[in-house]
Structures are given as structure tokens and as C-alpha cells.
Amino acid sequence: MPGLIGKKIGMTSVFSADGKNVPCTVIEVGPCEVTQVKTVATDGYDAIQLGFVDAKEKHLTKPELGHFAKANVAPKRHLAEFKGFGEEYKLGDKITVDFFNESDFVDIIGTSKGKGFQGVVKRHGFGGVGQTTHGQHNRLRAPGSIGACSYPAKVFKGMRMAGQMGNKRVTVQNLQVVKVIPEYNVLMIRGSIPGSKGSIVVIEK
């Protein structure tokens, strides 16, 4: 799907026409520059590659610098591919936040906040097992049984257990665009999106 790359700024709230307080996420979107145009003839599929946020040349390899030089754009820190752009774009073209309209519905892709190693109560919402008296020791937040005994004599894959929580690619679908502010390259999305302040997200129509 067509879309743009952005950076999460934070959250705020606005009042709707009927006086309701609507929580919104503020995203700085673009301007994104076209760094590569892929076609069926050369790459096997149609897509365009967009770059976001200028990077210092010393942080890039020579092949990467050559890639941006071929597109005649400044080196970029973040790249993403998008399919489905109806219009014809050329290398070096800029796509701004005007690509979106108010009341559009978009999907937001980002990396969730990392919470480290967590137990089953926080990670999966378990209620905890066991009583709190009669010699109970330290099993209040334990997961309980994770499998049977002699049969099947194993723990099934996908069992909800303690482990790394967060820091994963997450997609939130069907979020409404509340407001577009072109002069500041800002998009206001209804609700929350994955990631911390300053994290990079992909906004798809």
C-alpha cells in the first residue's frame, strides 16, 4: 500500500465538532524523497523506495552513498518501500504530508517499547495462582502448569510463558486521520500508536 515514513512526536488531544475530547498521536511525516523506482522490467515488481531524515556521509558505506548519488538526493537515515502509488514518481521527487487527507484511515507500523524480561502476569495478563495463606511461599505470580505428565511429555510450542516483552514490529490498523498540518509536516492520528517518542513509523493508506 502507498504511504510515507514519519517520526512519532508524542500525544495530545483535540476537541471534535460535537465537543468530545479526542486523544491523538502527533507524527512528523516527511517530506520523503524518492530514492529508487522499481519496475516489473528491472526488479520484477512495481514499487518506489522513499528516504526520510538526512544522514551524515561518514555514517554510510560507499555503496549506500552511490545509491543516493544515483538518485541525486542527500543521504537518508531511513528507507522504506511502498507499492500502489497511482501517480508516476521520478528519482528525487518529494512527497509531503499533503499525501494524506483528513478522515483518511491509515495503518501504522512501528516498533513497540521494549519492557525486558517479564513474567506471565505482566506479559500475558495471568491472574496468578495459589492461595496466600497456609504456608504459601513465593508462587503468587507463577504461571502454574505448562503441560501434562507422561503424555504428551513435552511443552507445546506457543505456550504463554515468561520472556522478552515488547521491542517487536507492531501494526495498528484503521486509525483515523484527525488533522493535517502541512506547514509543520504534522499528521494527527486518532488514538495511540506503537513506539516511544522519536521512534520511526510507517504510515500506510
pLDDT at 30 > cutoff 90: no
- Cβ contacts of 45-48, under 8 Å, gap ≥ 24: 45/83, 46/83, 47/81, 47/82, 47/83, 48/81, 48/82, 48/85, 48/89
For residue 8, report the phi and psi dihedrals to the nearest 5 degrees.
Answer: -70, 125
- 3-state SS assignment for residue 99: helix
Which three three-digit cell numbers place residue 5? 515514513
Spatial separation of the C-alpha atoms in residues 45 and 75, rounded to whole Å: 25
> Where residue 116 sits, what CATH number does that domain have?
2.40.30.10
The residue written with cell numbers 522490467 in the block is 41
Cα-Cα-Cα-Cα dihedral of 185, 187, 188, 190, to 10°? -170
User: Would you state the pLDDT for residue 123?
Assistant: 95
CB count in 10 Å sphere of residue 68? 20
Residue 39 domain boundaries: 3-204
- Residues 81-132 have pLDDT tens digits of 999 887 788 898 899 999 999 989 999 999 999 999 999 999 999 988 767 7
Spatial separation of the C-alpha atoms in residues 155 and 90, rounded to whole Å: 54
- 3-state SS assignment for residue 124: helix
Taking the model in full, what pTM does it have?
0.85
Spatial separation of the C-alpha atoms in residues 187 and 177, rounded to whole Å: 7
Quote the percentage of the chain above a pLDDT of 90.
73
Count of domains forming the chain:
1
pLDDT at 138 > cutoff 80: no
- 3-state SS assignment for residue 147: coil
